[in-house]
Amino acid sequence: MSGPHPARRAPGGEDDGQITVLALGFAVVALLLAVVVMGVTAVHVGERRLQVLADNAALAAADTFVELRPGAPGAPPATVLDDDAVAGAATSYLGTVRAWEDTPGLALGAPTGTPDGRTAEVTLVAVVHPPVVNLVVPDGIPITASSEARARLGR
C-alpha cells in the first residue's frame, strides 16, 4: 500500500482559504470591540472630568454667602447663600480653569443655585465626542454632573 493516506487531502481542496475568512472575521470583531471600548472610555473620562468641575464649582459657590445670621447661643453664625451668587461663582470658577474652552458644550444646568439658602448646588451639562464613534453620533453624547457643597462656619 503505497497510495496516499485517506485522511489527507490534496492541495487545492475545497477547504483552502477558509482560515483567511475566519481570521478576517476575528479581526473585524476585535476592531469593533476596540472601538466600543474607546467610546465607552471617552464617555466615562468625560463624565468624571465634568464631575470634578461640578464639585469644585460647588465648593467655590459655597464660599459666596451673602450674609450671616446669628446662630443659637454658643453656636457659630449661620451662612446664607443666594441663587445668583452661586451661579456667578460657579461661572467664575469655570472661567478661571478655562473649562469653557476645554469642554465642548459646557453650560450650567438646572438646578443650579441654593435649595435651602445654605447648600450650593451646581449642575453642569456638556457633550462628549468619542473617537470613531463620533461618525455614528456626530452631535456627541450629552453628559450631566451635579454636586452640592454646604456653606458653614466653624466646625
Judged against a pLDDT cut of 60, whether residue 3 lies above it is answered with: no
Render pLDDT for 46-90 as a digit per residue (tens, 0 to 9). 999 999 999 999 999 998 886 676 666 766 677 788 899 999 999
Q: Say whether 91 sits in a helix, a strand or coil.
A: helix
pLDDT greater than 60 at residue 28: yes
- Residue at grid coordinates 446662630: 71
User: What mean pLDDT comes out for the span 27-56?
Assistant: 95
pLDDT in tens, 108-155: 999 999 998 889 999 999 999 998 888 888 999 999 999 999 987 755
- Residues ≥6 apart with Cβ < 8 Å to 103: 49, 50, 53, 126
C-alpha dihedral over 86, 95, 55, 123, to 10 degrees? Answer: 60
- The set of cell numbers assigned to 5 is 493516506
Q: What is the secondary structure of 120-132 as a DSSP string?
A: EEEEEEEEE--TT
Calculate ∠ Cα 132-137-143, nearest 5°: 105
The 3-class SS string of 14-69 reads CCCCHHHHHHHHHHHHHHHHHHHHHHHHHHHHHHHHHHHHHHHHHHHHHCCCCEEE
The residues facing 127 across adjacent strands are: 142
Between CA 59 and CA 82 the distance in angstroms is 14
